[in-house]
């Protein structure tokens, strides 16, 4: 069966531009999570969705970051006015429900020039 | 606040040798514990998990881990390492009241000598 799919796999953009990262979870998984993996900070939790709602946005690093999930499936993470410190790998995961193991996609490597 | 420590940044073992990767956590109650593996350019693959019950858990690819409450540890072991095991390994903790928010250790990179 298909795993968690993320697109694009790589994104290079100029500082100040907006970017959208997409995550397509495993079919039937109600919970979806975004993490950021960077050299200096390791793996950090950003946000999670239960269905279409996001009960915990506490990990989003600034108000330039937002995420939405529609139809209980695909999620988009948007970063506005990108900065160089946003360069990282953004990982998406999904699980059947919270309290169940999270399954990760291959990530989007974001590079801000 | 909860935290996870993986004290070894790099470990090198010979193919066929045994392996133990260390993980210590800080959390007041019994946590959910996980080990993930990441190959270059790829996401994280779940190796095994501990939620409750038997403190010795078996995972995929011949890995096992033991939860020791008294030592706040969840070390990963494998009796005989294969060259394909070379990767980065992450230990993670989830709280029972917010298990969705995994806290990851900084990772241990495993190198395998032929």
Question: Per-residue pLDDT tens for B7-41?
Answer: 999 999 999 999 999 999 988 777 889 999 999 88
Q: pLDDT over 90 for what percent of chain A?
A: 79
Closest CA–CA distance from residue B106 to any residue of chain A (Å): 6
Give chain B's contact residues with A (Cβ, < 8 Å).
Answer: 32, 34, 36, 41-46, 49, 90, 92, 98-107
Q: Please provide the average confidence, as pLDDT, over all residues in chain A.
A: 92
Chain B residues with CB-CB distance to A94 below 8 A: none
Of B34, B100, B103, the CB nearest to A48: B100
A104 with B98: Cβ contact below 8 A: no
3-state secondary structure chain A: CCCCEEECCEEEECCCCCEEEEEECCCCCCEEEEEEEECCCEEEEEEEEECCEEEECCCCCCCCEEEEECCCCCEEEEECCCCHHHCEEEEEEEECCCCCCCEECCCEEEEEC
pLDDT at A75: 96
pLDDT tens digit string along A92-111? 999 998 878 899 999 999 99
Q: In angstroms, what CA-CA distances link B83 with A62, A88, A90, B13, B87?
A: 41, 28, 28, 10, 10
The reported pLDDT for the residue numbered B99 is 66
pLDDT at B62 over 90: yes
Alpha-carbon distance B88 to nearest alpha carbon in chain A (angstroms): 12
CA distance B14 to chain A (A): 27
Yes or no, beta carbons of A31 and B90 under 8 Å apart: no
Contact B85, B61 (CB under 8 A): yes
Q: Which two tokens stand for residue A113?
A: 């020039």
Residue A39 has a pLDDT of 83
Q: Which tens digits make up the pLDDT trace of A5-51? A: 999 999 999 999 999 999 999 999 999 999 999 987 789 999 999 88
Contact B101 A59 (CB under 8 A): yes
Q: Which residues of A touch B35 (CB under 8 A)?
A: none
């Amino acid at each position: 069966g298909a795993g968690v799919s993320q697109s694009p796999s790589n994104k290079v953009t100029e500082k100040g531009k907006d970017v959208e990262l997409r995550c397509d979870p495993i079919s039937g998984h109600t919970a979806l999570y975004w993490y950021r993996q960077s050299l200096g900070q390791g793996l950090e939790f950003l946000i999670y969705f239960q269905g279409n709602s996001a009960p915990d946005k506490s990990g989003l690093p600034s108000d330039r970051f937002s995420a939405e999930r529609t139809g209980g499936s695909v999620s988009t993470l948007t970063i506005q006015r990108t900065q160089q410190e946003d360069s990282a790998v953004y990982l998406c995961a999904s699980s059947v429900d919270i309290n169940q193991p999270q399954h990760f996609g291959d990530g989007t490597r974001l590079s801000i020039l | 606040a909860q935290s996870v420590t993986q004290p070894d940044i790099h470990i090198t073992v010979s193919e066929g040798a045994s392996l133990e990767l260390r993980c210590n956590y800080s959390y007041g109650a019994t946590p959910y514990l996980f080990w993930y593996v990441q190959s270059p350019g790829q996401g994280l693959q779940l190796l095994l998990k501990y939620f409750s019950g038997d403190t010795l858990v078996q995972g995929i690819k011949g890995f096992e881990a033991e939860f020791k409450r008294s030592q706040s540890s969840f070390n990963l072991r494998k009796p005989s390492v294969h060259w394909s095991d070379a990767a980065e390994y992450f230990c993670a903790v989830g709280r029972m009241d917010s298990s969705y928010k995994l806290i990851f250790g900084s990772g241990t990179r495993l190198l395998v000598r032929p």
